[in-house]
Homo-oligomer: A and B are copies of this chain.
Amino acid sequence: MNKPDKILLAHGSGGSYYQQLVEEVFVPAFSNPVLSQLADAAVVAGGTEQLAMTTDSFVVRPRFFAGGDIGRLAVCGTVNDLAMSGATPRWLSCGMVLEAGLPIAELQRICASMAAAAAEAGVAIICGDTKVVEAGAADGIYINTAGIGTFPAGRKPLPCRLTPDSLIIASGTLGDHGLAVLAARENLNFSPPLASDAAPLNGLIADLLEAAPDTEWLRDPTRGGLAGVLCEWAEKSGYDVEVAEEAIPVAPAVRAACELLGISPLHAACEGRLIAAVPPHQAEAALAALRAHPYGRDAAIIGRVLEKEQGRALLRTPYGSLRRLEPLDGEQLPRIC
């Protein structure tokens, strides 16, 4: 059997080409004993009374950009969704849809990036599936990862609620990922270049919850950005949430790019940031824990939960006026993750 250097439809057949792909690309990249059994389902020990499960598909265009690629995103996105619930991310699945013609070297590069991110996050990719569609029926590669998390002894799922006076904290500058992808897509050369913030946040969150165990809610501001998170929190909790525009950390290069492109950094996506709601008595400890971690250096308190029960997300401008934040409505940034 010859060894093609591009994905063929035959790689999706379940036959010998498929086997070759699995054994020569996926298994070596994601090396672990559970995956290597290549069973219909992967079996792991160590479940706990409560489990967290999540899934995310990745269709980002282009597949490679400063600070990351589709593979790093695919691992970080699912790791982060699990960690936001208070769970420790443990096991990931990987489902790929490949377009015939994708260079296998590129697939290997993406798998290596997934493996590196998984190693950093301390998770294992334990099962997978690959389908191949004909040229023109996908755009190179789409990756789905699903994940399982468990709750360490003494840690419960976050309550996902807000209390008046709780403080809103951002773990770092916002919008870096969205603008980095857009810059790569449109071949815009900013100086300094814009790099994605894509990162696994489970370590940062473990430190945060250690310092601020009464943390009420965590969300990663991915599609829809900070505004999306705040609108959701306000609507679900019923409380007004207010953030101060000048307190929101935005990197100067991202701010400049946003102005140039007519994009609001409050709606731009991150892939390595979190927004936290923390009661006032633990806010300073939370901030210190975040800032002590490499992924939280630029953490800042950006706002607070109000007593008013009108369910609005509000932005206080530097001039003191209040503006209502709305979720993203249109197709501002398709295929950002």
Contacts and interface: CB of A to CB of B under 8 A. Distances in A.
A204 B133 CA distance: 32
A288 B139 CA distance: 48
Interface in A20-63: 37, 39-59
Contacts of A9: 331, 334
Interface stretch (A86-94, A163-171, A180-188, A250-258): A86-94
Given A12-B335, A57-B129, A148-B148, A43 B50 contact: yes
A160 B36 CA distance: 14
B47 A43 contact: no
A35 to B, nearest CB: 11
A285 interface: no
A157 to B, nearest CB: 5
- Please tell me how many copies of the chain the complex holds: 2
Interface in A116-151: 126-134, 136-139, 142, 144, 146-150
20 contacts: A9-B334, A10-B330, A15-B224, A15-B327, A18-B224, A40-B82, A40-B218, A41-B85, A41-B147, A43-B51, A44-B50, A51-B91, A51-B148, A53-B126, A57-B97, A95-B146, A131-B335, A132-B334, A133-B335, A136-B136
A97 B50 contact: no
A51 B47 contact: yes
A96 interface: yes
Nearest to A132: B334
Nearest to A236: B38
Contact of A41 (B40, B53, B59, B332): B53
Chain A residues touching B, majority SS: mixed
A40 B81 contact: yes
A146 B93 contact: yes
A94 B222 CA distance: 19
Interface residues of A, number: 87
Interface in A295-336: 326-335
A281 to B, nearest CB: 25
Contacts of A14: 222-224, 228, 269, 327-328
Given A133-B335, A224-B13, A53 B330 contact: no
A17 interface: yes
Contacts of A59: 97, 131, 133, 137
A329 B94 contact: no
Interface of A: 1, 8-10, 12-19, 37, 39-59, 80-82, 84-85, 87, 91, 93-97, 126-134, 136-139, 142, 144, 146-150, 157, 160, 218-220, 222-224, 228, 269, 326-335, 337
Contact of A19 (B129, B149, B327, B333): B327
A82 to B, nearest CB: 5
A17 to B, nearest CB: 7
A270 to B, nearest CB: 12
Given A39-B85, A133-B139, 14 more contacts: A1-B329, A13-B328, A13-B334, A39-B160, A43-B50, A47-B48, A53-B93, A55-B93, A55-B146, A57-B131, A57-B144, A59-B137, A129-B144, A137-B138
